[in-house]
Amino acid sequence: MVTETSSPPTESTLLSNASRQDLTDSIGTLLSDIQLSSLSPEQLDELALLVSERGVVFFRGQNLSDDQQVQLSKHYGNKGNGKADTAVHQFKEIRNVTPGQQSKWHADLSFAKNPPNFSILRIEDTTESICESSWVSQYGLYDALSDHMKTFLDSLHAVHSSKLSNESILETWSTLDIESHHPAVQTNPITGLKALNVTPGSVTGFAELKKKESDNLLEFLDYHIHSTDEEAVRFKWEAGSVAIWDNRSTAYRDISKSKTSSIATFKTLSFGAKPYFDKDSESREQREQRVAREAKEEFERLESIKARFNNTPMRRLIQRQVAGQKEIRYADSGYGGESSSKADSNSPITNEDKSSENRPFADLNPNSESRTLRTQQWANGVAPKEEVPSVTEDLKVQKIVSQIPEVKFNVTPLRRIIQRQISGSSSGLKCRDWR
| 250: β partners | 137
- 100 found inside a domain: yes
Together in a domain, 241 and 376: no
Would the pTM count as exceeding 0.75?
no
Closest to 166 measured CA to CA, from 237, 97, 238, 227 = 97
Question: What distances in angstroms separate CA 79 from CA 68, 170, 257, one per listed residue?
Answer: 19, 20, 37
| Cα separation, 114 vs 4, whole angstroms | 16
- 301 found inside a domain: no
- 199 found inside a domain: yes
Concatenated DSSP letters of 39-76: --HHHHHHHHHHHHHHSEEEE-S----HHHHHHHHHHH
In b/e form, how buried is each residue of 74-96, taking b as 16+ CB within 10 angstroms?
ebbbbeebbeeebbbbebeeebe
| Cα separation, 387 vs 370, whole angstroms | 25
Instruction: Output the tens digit of pLDDT for each of the chain's 435 residues.
Output: 554 444 444 445 888 888 999 999 999 999 999 999 999 999 999 999 999 999 999 999 999 999 999 999 999 986 443 344 355 676 665 555 544 445 789 998 899 889 999 999 998 876 555 578 999 999 999 999 999 999 999 999 999 998 876 554 545 555 567 889 999 999 999 999 999 999 988 899 999 999 999 999 999 999 999 998 899 999 998 889 999 999 999 999 988 665 556 677 888 999 888 999 999 999 999 999 999 999 999 999 999 888 887 777 777 777 777 887 555 454 444 444 444 444 444 555 555 555 544 555 445 566 666 666 666 666 665 555 555 555 566 677 667 666 666 555 566 677 777 777 777 654 444 445 444
Together in a domain, 78 and 208: yes
- Structural domain harbouring 347: 342-386
- 214 found inside a domain: yes
Q: Which helix or strand (DSSP H or E) is residue 261 part of?
A: strand 261-271
The confidence score (pLDDT) of residue 419 equals 75
Together in a domain, 199 and 65: yes
Together in a domain, 216 and 364: no
The confidence score (pLDDT) of residue 369 equals 64
Together in a domain, 349 and 213: no
The confidence score (pLDDT) of residue 17 equals 83
Together in a domain, 33 and 132: yes
Q: How many domains does the chain have?
A: 2
- 121 found inside a domain: yes
Q: Strand 29-32 to strand 194-196: parallel, antiparallel, or no bridges (unpaired)?
A: unpaired
Length of the chain: 435
**Residue type at position 172:** T
Q: What is the dihedral of CA 300, 303, 305, 308, to 10 degrees?
A: -120
Together in a domain, 201 and 124: yes
Strand positions, DSSP E, 2-153: 19-22, 29-32, 56-59, 88-97, 116-126, 132-137
| Cα separation, 66 vs 64, whole angstroms | 7
Together in a domain, 215 and 98: yes
Q: Which of 229, 253, 280 is the last residue of a domain?
A: 280
Together in a domain, 346 and 273: no
| 269: β partners | 89, 119
The confidence score (pLDDT) of residue 125 equals 73
| 270: β partners | 88, 118
Report whether 283 contacts 141 (CB < 8 A): no
Together in a domain, 276 and 346: no
Report whether 70 contacts 88 (CB < 8 A): yes
Concatenated DSSP letters of 337-354: SS-PPPPPTTSPPPHHHH
